[in-house]
Amino acid sequence: MPSSSLSRTEVLESVERRMQLVSAATCLKMKRGLAGLATIATTAPLLGLLGTTIGILDAFKGCGTQKWVCVAATIEGICEALVTALLGLLAAILAAWFYNYLSDRLQIFNIEMQLASSELLSYLAIHHRAPSPPCR
């Protein structure tokens, strides 16, 4: 039976370091898509505003000297242009909601991992014993 070359303290420190590495790697994997959601949440309203601005400019292009024809065409063009703002806001609201939800879930999971790691280390500290000498 091979004898252990590590002391009890060294074993516990090794287990603790390994759990920290695995925890950090897991958190990195879980955070992967959050940056994309944050980008969508911040840029979607701006893209919607850009589309609305371009649509309104296009609506005013066709105005000639007849005011009532111009007003009717402009109102219709503005209504169509506002659809891009609506879509941009909708995308931003959904992305922000999912970002916040997933960030909260990640924090809760991280806390649970830390608690489980602490419990495991406590258990090992109490119950880990050096191997007994072999029977002869």
Range from 22-26, 58-62, 74-78, 95-99 that averages highest in pLDDT: 95-99
Q: pTM of the prediction?
A: 0.69
Which pair of tokens denotes residue 64?
A: 């000639």
User: What burial letters (b/e) apply to 9-31, b meaning 16+ CB within 10 Å?
Assistant: eeebeebeeebeeebeeeeeeee
Q: What is the pLDDT of residues 9-35, one digit of tens each?
A: 888 888 889 988 998 898 888 888 899
Which pair of tokens denotes residue 4?
A: 């252990």
Q: Stretch 122-133: mean pLDDT, rounded?
A: 67
For residue 12, which of 23, 20, 22, 24 has the smallest C-alpha distance?
Answer: 20
Q: Stretch 93-102: mean pLDDT, rounded?
A: 94
What one-character DSSP code corresponds to residue 63? -
Q: What is the pLDDT of residue 1?
A: 44
Q: What is the pLDDT of residue 130?
A: 43
Helical H segments across 1-136, by residue range = 8-31, 34-61, 67-127
Q: Are 98 and 7 in contact (CB under 8 A)?
A: no
E strand or H helix at 64, and its extent?
none
pLDDT category at 133 given cuts 50, 70, 90 is very low
